[in-house]
Structure 1
Amino acid sequence: MRNIQTHYLKLQKPKPRVGVVVFNNRDTLIKPDGCFDFDRAIAEGVALRNKYRQNMINFQKNTGHLPPGWEIKPLATVPPDVQDRLAKRRHAEAEALTNQGGKKEQEK
């Protein structure tokens, strides 16, 4: 009986607390509408490829050689059209830092 109760408790979702602000994960590949974000996936793939490229460069600097079959490929870049779409989206999602009245707070 205890195993069933423990299992049931693990399956229950925690109740949302009042006054808690929930932030979206920035690294998600899902758009707010629930669709897969292909442009973001391309950008993340390029970043990952460049990360491992840099690891190989560091390995070569530290050991003086690369293992057989390893090669350091050129730096990867995000295609310009994907960069443009991501930049437009970032600009559209940015929020101005204003008070509730809609006017920027004046410096005192």
Structure 2
Amino acid sequence: MSPLDTNRRLAELLGWTSISHAGFELRGLPPDAQRWGLHEGRIPDWTGAWCACGPLMVEYLQRIAQRPYRATAGAVGLMAIMRDRIAAGGGDEAARRAIVDAMIEVLEAGG
């Protein structure tokens, strides 16, 4: 799955609606849009930026580890998600992708 598709799936699981592509980013309505009178906004780039990935990592994950050739992330009771550092383009990207994939797994499991 591409980083954009991964971000889209996580946004759907977090309650974003009316998601659309706008160049190399995603836009949509945040989960509480109607309640707060919010308009369409940019969906965070969880796979591409630590400032977006970090807060969700703290909320949903219990473990993360960097190894020489892979990054792992997971939650209690779920198998760790691993990303190949070389295929992902480097350690930072591999770690963010592992974190976002693990978050998706947690949310799909009802967490």
Give the TM-score taking structure 2 as reference length.
0.18
Choose between structure 1 and 2: higher strand proportion: 2
Q: Which one has a bigger Cα radius of gyration? A: 1
Give the TM-score taking structure 1 as reference length.
0.18
Larger relative CO (CA 8 A, sep 6+): 1 or 2? 2
